[in-house]
Amino acid sequence: MEATGAEVLVAALRTHGVDTVFGIPGTHNLAVYEELARGGVSCVTPRHEQGAGYAADGYARVTGRPGVALTTTGPGVVNAAAALAQAYSDSTPVLLLSPGVPSDHPRLGRGYLHESKDQSGALDALCAWSHRVTSIREIPAAVGRAFASFAEGRPRPVHVEVPADLLERRGSADLAGPYRLMPRVPDPAALDRAARLLRGARRPAIVLGGGAQRPGDDEPVTGRLAMRLAERTGARVVTTVNGKGSVPESHHLCLGATLRLPGVRRWLASCDVVLAVGTELGPADLWEDRFALPGTLIRVDVDPAQMYGDHVADVPVLADAALALEGLAGRVPETGTRPRRTTGWSASATPSCARWPGGGPRSSPRCARRCRPTR
């Protein structure tokens, strides 16, 4: 297509299904905003670019679709940096678009409006990657790369910078089709080994993190599969804060988002097999640096680096969470299984206490008086 850089950029966004953009118009991005209006893309304008970044992050978390933010150059980009850093920490797919200084701008600067030393490099330190295009022809490829990175592996924010002069210059570009999502399929041998461990476990546990969430789904498929596996193995299920909502906390096997509690971590340390799905088991989840996990650890994650984190996986399952849980549940028989009896504290009066496994926390002195040891 023969068009301006702004037209190509908006057409590339529409190709990937973008219908909403969060941001603030500024001197250098006005050409893009004109094309967004003509292209039928809704623009949500907050009071500050940081709000645009957080709104794009929230949009991605709720809908399951990548959030897109559009700022102007220099200070506008930096204002959105805090939101991108949070999106990186929480693995949220956010695309930040911004103009940049013109293509022929000298590196030493010349007083150009909102000029910065290296805004793409600054964002690269906070995002999965940041890229400054050098031609109109490169714009669709950069946008396509962003959506490909969201679809494959661990989604994290990215930044695409288009020099301001390219937005109004005309040129030719070929639009690439939308990236087809191809979930990472688990290795059957890894699933077989993990299923054998879960079937033979005496005290199994399941930990669900943010990677077990499926935003935008009417039915929490991953959580449903996790609970099916829990019911077949008798495993208790605990979630991180980011994993909250993936499973119903009213279920008798669910301990809720309580991984931060010392008593829950002591219980995990007593489990012989722990299945961790989509979680770093990191300090942000634990409220401490790390904790003992002497049992056999099965880790399910799309990020291979997580298999070698603070808690090295004994059985790594590199796969989409839903596909891995479906494969594990299919390898555990539905009949002949029942929840295993756990020793420790049990409740005689309060239903909430009955959910805590052996060695679990006592929420208050009153709760402790109502509980009795079963050992």
Confidence of residue 106 (pLDDT cuts 50, 70, 90): low
Q: Residue 375: its pLDDT value, please?
A: 31
What does the pLDDT read at residue 50? 96
Residue 148: pLDDT band (50, 70, 90) is: confident
Mean pLDDT to the nearest integer, 247-269:
90
Q: How far apart are CA 63 and CA 333, in angstroms?
A: 34
pTM to 2 decimals? 0.67
pLDDT higher than 70, residue 83:
yes
Least confident of 47-56, 163-172, 188-197, 339-348: 339-348
Mean pLDDT of the chain: 83
Least confident of 9-13, 271-275, 331-335: 331-335
pLDDT at 186 over 50: yes
- Nearest-CA neighbor of 59 among 83, 40, 24? 83
Q: What is the pLDDT of residue 324?
A: 94
| Centroid of chain to Cα 274 | 21
The beta-carbon contacts of 194-200 under 8 Å, at least 24 apart in sequence, are 194/275, 194/298, 194/315, 194/317, 194/328, 195/328, 195/331, 195/332, 197/273, 197/296, 197/298, 197/315, 198/229, 198/233, 198/235, 198/273, 198/275, 198/298, 198/328, 198/332, 199/233, 199/332, 199/333, 200/273
Identify which has the larger pLDDT, 283 or 321. 321
pLDDT digits (tens, 9 = 90+) for 116-136: 778 888 999 999 999 999 999
Measured in residues, the chain has a length of 375
Tens digit of each residue's pLDDT (9 = 90 or more) over 163-180: 999 999 898 888 877 766
pLDDT digits (tens, 9 = 90+) for 328-375: 999 998 754 444 444 333 322 223 343 444 444 433 333 333 333 333
Percent of the chain with pLDDT over 90: 50
